[in-house]
Amino acid sequence: MFFFLPLGTTRPRWRRTYATYGLLAINLVVYLLGPDLLEWGFIPAEASIVTCFTAMFVHAGILHLLGNMLFLWLFGTIAEDVLGPWLFLGFYFGAGVAADGLDALVGIIFLPD
């Protein structure tokens, strides 16, 4: 399956996007540390505040990692430039926690005990 994604923009950048590149690096390091960290993924039946945040950096495989990092690089650099690093990080972590909440809700609705 192929997706057509823009690989550039004519919009001028106003600031360096250190937060985005930091998130890219953290995701890569966590992936390279190996499968031992998969236990830090979000499991709705065993949910905790900690795994709501650590799950944002755990990926199931190389394609999962590459797809997410491509989108983070394309979207994150522009979003961070517009929002600033702190608001962008708030958006990133807020969206991650919201995704975990939606995952848990879908599990409750469609996969009852």
Q: What is the pLDDT of residues 80-110, one digit of tens each?
A: 999 999 999 999 999 999 988 888 788 777 7
* Domain span holding position 55: 18-110
| Residue 75 identity | F
Question: For 2-22, what is the mean pLDDT?
Answer: 74
Q: Which residue has the higher pLDDT, 52 or 10?
A: 52
- pTM, whole model, 2 decimals? 0.78
| Residue 40 identity | W
In a domain, 12, yes or no: no
Question: For 35-56, what is the mean pLDDT?
Answer: 66
Burial 31-57 (b: 16+ CB within 10 A, else e): beeeeebeebbbeeeebeeebbebbbb
In a domain, 8, yes or no: no
In a domain, 81, yes or no: yes
Distance of alpha carbon 109 from alpha carbon 105, whole angstroms: 6
| The total number of structural domains that make up the chain | 1
56: nearest Cα among 87, 3, 86, 101: 101
- In the Cβ-directed half-sphere of 87, how many Cα atoms lie within 13 Å? 7
Q: Which residue has the higher pLDDT, 110 or 22?
A: 22
For 68-85, the pLDDT digits (tens) are 999 999 899 999 999 999
In a domain, 73, yes or no: yes
Distance of alpha carbon 38 from alpha carbon 63, whole angstroms: 16
- The answer to whether residue 54 scores a pLDDT higher than 70 is yes
Mean pLDDT for all residues in the chain: 81
Tell me if residue 73 falls in helix, strand or coil. helix
Q: Please, which pLDDT band fits residue 47 given cuts at 50, 70 and 90?
A: low
In a domain, 22, yes or no: yes
